[in-house]
Structure 1
Amino acid sequence: MSGGTAAKGRMYGGELMPWAIVLVAGGFLVLFGGVWLGGTLGAAVTGSGWHPPAFGLASFGALLTEGPDALWPGASTTGVTAGIVVVFGVVVTLVVLTVRKAVSYLAQPKGLARQRDLAALAPDGIAARARELRPSLKGRTELHPDETGNLLGDLAPKGPELRSSFEDVELDLMAPRAGKSTGIAVPRVLRAQGAVLLTSNKSDVYAVTRAERARKGRVWTFDPQGIAHAPREMWWNILADCHTIEGARRLAGHFVASVNDDQSKKDFWISAAQNTLTALFLAAARGRASVLDLLTWLADPADRTPVDLLRDVNMVAMAEQLQGTVRGAVETRDGIYETARQCVACLLDPEIVAWVTPDPHLPEFRPHEHVLGKDTLYLLSKDGGGSAAGVIAGLADATMRAGVVAAERMGGRLDPPMTAVLDEAANVCRISDLPDLYSHFGSRGINVVTLLQSYRQGSRVWGEAGMDALWSAATIKLLGAGLDDADFVEKISKLVGNSDIRTPSVTRSKEGVSRSYSYRLDPVLPADRIRALPKGTALLLATGVRPALIRLRPWYLEPGAAAISAAAKAETAAITERATRSWTGPASPAPTEAASRWQRSAVTLNKPTP
């Protein structure tokens, strides 16, 4: 050993020696104190009375050389021993609990919200908030947790569980297979207290939740493209809300949004097509025509029927506008009508149009009745070409707006609240003004949960400004695993904030050792850590509190999962059987009147434009 190393060793030894003496003395004190207290208690309990020996080294030495009789003469040796064991057992238990609590405290990421910060989302706080929001809960002392709010997950690492209130609206960003379905969509549907609306492009959530929701109310499955191969057991009047210009324009906007990626970049043809569709939807609704009639009008711009229908119901200005489009330059008119045809192209599929055509043999789905009960509406559609996204968005929008109307009639808020889970909202449920309506839905007791794969995916649909508005309106945001947008993740890291990192510096000199500390600001969660969040965890951003790290609660780990899993397997088997039958090509039934009319309109659609 060199002289410098030996000097450093002696220096360190000199610094640690006082601490070693304190630790040894403290250990002996605890050891003898436990023996002294335990032995005295044991002797007293066994009938020898409270006669504690002197608390000193002499007593400890006598105990080691002569045994317990030297300190507690006449007492039962068994009682004294038992008292000592009990005291040390209690001490060890307290130490273990303290250490575990300290480890749990230290394991929490520095700078993130802790339990006391999230008191409003914890069980007691969320129960108090539920009583304020739901008049039906007032006066009840015991509440089921699902009656108080929507389960978000458990605060990492040890809880408690956190819930959002019934006036919160939620935006969740997670990569595929990061737990959106198992940890968010399925639990929201299973635990919902009122009516449910779910949109999806897959049958997984439908298969898991259908049987359970059927126990609570009626299940409506709108599956025009055979995602779950569900038989058509309902129809929806797509023109029901088109008796007003606002309703007709909203429906036209849903079809336009299904083919236009960015609502902030509408060109002339898209805007003109929306105006034309608005007029045609309004004419069909006011004139008691059908969607098939509307397709015929689109195929032949020279058809004066919609103009005449609008005039007949005193919609003169709208009739003049439509007539002006028809009488315009042929190239412009044909371009507008062709764009409009492309927007509603999904209605050329007879399998899709049958779901929105009146059928006297099937029940009609009525949104205004649905929102008042505990029924469930599944809206399933494919992505890409041939998608029924415009129809899905129209029905979802009509249902949520019906919830707003019902809430206003109830005094301002639905009770029980309605749950709307918009899974794959950017693909199958493009409601163009969803960002503007988001906070309004929350104030009406409509809990909307929008699930996206990334921030950029939402920007492609609603534009940068629209996605910023949706982000700002969401009072609860969950960011899960696999977010690969570097710019967005860097912004989230800045939102989480920085923490002070203390760095010690030790200076040694002939005069002794001196310590100093410097401080720097480091991100609480750097961008790489946010991007690498483990599957099943999420960063919670709630209004008014610091960000928190939570663990999602997948449905298959909850009580009762075995029964739900068995029902899901049975439903999946039924879906597979229906899919197999559809591929084998069952005998085609005689064409219905609606199908015949569709064939005629399809032939008309291919006629040359005059």
Structure 2
Amino acid sequence: MTTRKPQRATGEDFLPWIVPGAAFLIGTLFFAAWLGGTLGAAMSGAGWDPPPFGLSTLSTLVKEGPAEVWPKAGTTAIAAGMATVFGAVVAAVVVLIMLVRHRVARPSGLAGRKELAGLLPKGAAERARQLRPSLAKLGKIEADDTGNLLGNLEPNGPELRSSYEDVELDLMAPRAGKSTGIAVPRVLRARGSVLLTSNKADVYSVTRAERERVGRVWTFDPQGIAHTPRALWWDMLADAATIEGARRLAGHFVGAVNDDASKRDFWISAAQNTLTALFHAANRGKRQVGEVLAWLADPADRTPVDLLRDAGMTALADQLQGTVQGAVETRDGIYETARQCVACLLDPGIAAWISPDPDLPQFLPSQHVLSRDTLYLLSKDGGGSAAGVIAAAADSVLRSGVVAAERMGGRLDPPMTAVLDEAANVCRISDLPDLYSHFGSRGINIVTLLQSYRQGTRVWGEAGMDALWGAATIKLLGAGLDDADFVDKVSRLVGEHDVSTVSYTKSKDGRSRSTSYRLERILPADRIRALPKGTALLLATGIKPALVKLRPWYAERGAERIATAAQAEVKAITARAAEGIIR
């Protein structure tokens, strides 16, 4: 009769090892006592006179004690020697266990050092020299100049870094380490200009003081996330100088209120067309946001049509006039939809951030991307948020980076870092999936942080999210991914490996053992879902998947100084909030 048993431990599997195991344990203990006692006796002045290493000595040691084995030495010295050797043996066993444990912690089939050579320090440095001309002649390159720190390869390192040509997509549940292990380190370690979007002040409070040490800090906080007083203004309508720019600007406001990018009905599309015409008219006529809102409130106002005709934009003027002169019900529906899209601009506190102010410096994206400055774009999510403005500002900076890269020969050096935290809530750039790979080739190191794959599909649709997933050359999947279909898909991507199964056959002639193999998932879906906090599955283009341990900012060098500054910033935010200084 044949019974199949799994490779894991069973009573019958361990039975043949009981006697050898016991003999090895007793032998190890006896050797430690024999060596320790002999060393102790020698150190006490009795000289090196080891007793025979045999069963007779073991019997005497057990029955009569160490004094009979080493009669010329003191008991204290013998005990001290034994304790020392026993401690060394225990330490060696512990180290051995840890090494074995680390070795088996990484499931077989995942990438090791050999497969990840391009992400190891040496490979990252070589790649950085190729991508950044400014590093080509330097002897030693600082680690942060070679690429973005992803974390340490599980289970025992070394550190892994992506190149500045890579573009990254990270999916993790809330409180799984997105801010502490990814967003904050990316901002702190950035070598060039920085763009950060968020709906919370946590990353801002940790990184602001450090970024002030290397450049200017611009905080765009129209809704008082960090309760920072307004200290800049940005000309939003400057991006509407062309019809393409005006359409992109209108698309950011439409995307902020349209929950599903794959479902754009007639009213949404018509509203975007109308906003495109109004934004472009305002730019050509050097008008401001307040006048755009007035035009929306009164569809009969011919000012935007006249401004477009004066600028030679006859076709766009005719289209806007056709909308105004169409059926009243249709016209009112289009204009009402457009009004809802830009409703956040009705708040004078938000509109002030994008209106000229001679008393404040103007933020210029074209200058920012060539500096080491930092731009924080903060907004609430949900109804009434300034997400459309935030998306427009982020898109303006990113496109300015592309233009600057083209003028520099194709790539920014040093690269720009763009961290789109809460991208699905406050930074809905509609064509982000199409632009993603393009950013990497321009030296724009972009990282998009989402809570789940499904969250992305709600913004960009299934096709858009698939495009974003495919364009990202680095993907980090962290703890708390509860989408069963997506996790199973990732499990299939990780692949399968051979697992041995032991079979025993019992017959009248005795008992025989054989081994067979079957394919199993390297990382089953339940294990991916249960990844510990601070751990992530790394999917890099052209490389087998690997497990990495994120490196939170508070565990790095200089964390004490950063934490002190962060605490001071939090106190300042609290004080400003108490005083009512919001905008």
TM-score normalised according to structure 1 size: 0.82
Report the Cα offset of residue 96 of structure 1.
Answer: 7.5
Correspondence for 2:161: 163
CA contact (8 A) 2:103 2:155 kept: no
Correspondence for 2:348: 350
**2:233 aligned to which of 220, 232, 235:** 235
Distance 2:333 2:97 in 1: 74
Correspondence for 1:596: none
Correspondence for 2:496: 498
Correspondence 1:472-511 to 2 at 5 A: 472-511=470-509
Distance 2:190 2:104 in 1: 36
Correspondence 1:221-370 to 2 at 5 A: 221-370=219-368
Distance 2:107 2:483 in 1: 23
Correspondence for 2:532: 534
Correspondence for 1:377: 375
How big is each residue's C-alpha offset from its partner over 1:352-411, in whole Å with a ceiling of 9 and x where there is no partner?
000000011110000000000100000000011110000000000000000001111111
Distance 1:518 1:382 in 2: 57
Match for 1:525: what amino acid? L
How big is each residue's C-alpha offset from its partner over 1:181-203, in whole Å with a ceiling of 9 and x where there is no partner?
11111111011010000000011
- Give the direction of change, closer, same or farther, for the CA distance of 1:132–1:563 in structure 2 (3 Å limit): same
Q: Which has the larger radius of gyration?
A: 1
Aligned length: 547
Distance 1:430 1:368 in 2: 21
How big is each residue's C-alpha offset from its partner over 1:150-199, in whole Å with a ceiling of 9 and x where there is no partner?
11111111111111110111111111111111111111101101000000
Distance 1:496 1:463 in 2: 24
How big is each residue's C-alpha offset from its partner over 1:35-58, in whole Å with a ceiling of 9 and x where there is no partner?
9xxx9xxxxxxxxxxxxxxxxxx9
Distance 2:90 2:526 in 1: 41
Kindly indicate whether residue 198 of structure 2 is the aligned counterpart of residue 197 of structure 1.
no
CA contact (8 A) 1:261 1:462 kept: no
Kindly indicate whether residue 149 of structure 2 is the aligned counterpart of residue 131 of structure 1.
no
- Give the direction of change, closer, same or farther, for the CA distance of 1:211–1:327 in structure 2 (3 Å limit): same
Distance 2:138 2:509 in 1: 71
SS of 1:241's partner is: helix
SS of 1:157's partner is: coil
CA contact (8 A) 1:131 1:137 kept: yes
Distance 2:276 2:201 in 1: 33
SS of 1:353's partner is: helix
Correspondence for 2:145: 147
- Give the direction of change, closer, same or farther, for the CA distance of 1:398–1:101 in structure 2 (3 Å limit): same
- Give the direction of change, closer, same or farther, for the CA distance of 1:340–1:20 in structure 2 (3 Å limit): closer
Correspondence for 1:400: 398
State the identity %.
Answer: 72
Distance 1:219 1:106 in 2: 46
Report the Cα offset of residue 103 of structure 1.
Answer: 3.6
CA contact (8 A) 1:199 1:422 kept: yes
Distance 2:516 2:117 in 1: 34
**2:439 aligned to which of 431, 438, 441:** 441
CA contact (8 A) 1:222 1:378 kept: yes
Distance 2:401 2:110 in 1: 36
Distance 2:457 2:464 in 1: 7
Distance 2:239 2:398 in 1: 13
Distance 1:524 1:199 in 2: 36
- Give the direction of change, closer, same or farther, for the CA distance of 1:506–1:314 in structure 2 (3 Å limit): same
- Give the direction of change, closer, same or farther, for the CA distance of 1:115–1:17 in structure 2 (3 Å limit): closer
**2:177 aligned to which of 167, 176, 179:** 179
Kindly indicate whether residue 81 of structure 2 is the aligned counterpart of residue 111 of structure 1.
no
Correspondence for 2:217: 219
Distance 1:297 1:18 in 2: 88
Report the Cα offset of residue 100 of structure 1.
Answer: 4.8
Report the Cα offset of residue 579 of structure 1.
Answer: 0.4
Match for 2:117: what amino acid? A
SS of 2:192's partner is: coil
Correspondence 1:12-31 to 2 at 5 A: 20=20
Distance 2:17 2:553 in 1: 56
CA contact (8 A) 2:187 2:194 kept: yes
Distance 1:248 1:18 in 2: 79
Match for 1:229: what amino acid? H
CA contact (8 A) 1:426 1:452 kept: yes
Report the Cα offset of residue 99 of structure 1.
Answer: 6.0
Report the Cα offset of residue 97 of structure 1.
Answer: 6.4
How big is each residue's C-alpha offset from its partner over 1:18-41, in whole Å with a ceiling of 9 and x where there is no partner?
9959x88xx79x98xx99xxx9xx
SS of 1:239's partner is: helix
SS of 1:264's partner is: coil
Report the Cα offset of residue 93 of structure 1.
Answer: 9.2
Match for 2:520: what amino acid? D
Correspondence for 1:457: 455
Kindly indicate whether residue 419 of structure 2 is the aligned counterpart of residue 432 of structure 1.
no
How big is each residue's C-alpha offset from its partner over 1:197-249, in whole Å with a ceiling of 9 and x where there is no partner?
00000111100100000011000000001111101010000011211111000
Most deviating of 515-524 and 151-160: 515-524
Distance 1:554 1:471 in 2: 25
Correspondence for 1:573: 571
Distance 1:105 1:17 in 2: 22
SS of 2:270's partner is: helix
Distance 2:190 2:17 in 1: 63
SS of 2:181's partner is: helix
* Structure 2 runs not aligned, ≥5 long: 1-11, 40-51, 59-83
SS of 1:421's partner is: strand
Distance 2:87 2:228 in 1: 62
Distance 2:85 2:567 in 1: 54
Report the Cα offset of residue 499 of structure 1.
Answer: 1.8
Report the Cα offset of residue 571 of structure 1.
Answer: 0.6
Report the Cα offset of residue 104 of structure 1.
Answer: 2.3
CA contact (8 A) 2:195 2:418 kept: yes
Match for 2:195: what amino acid? L
Correspondence for 1:72: none
Report the Cα offset of residue 508 of structure 1.
Answer: 2.9
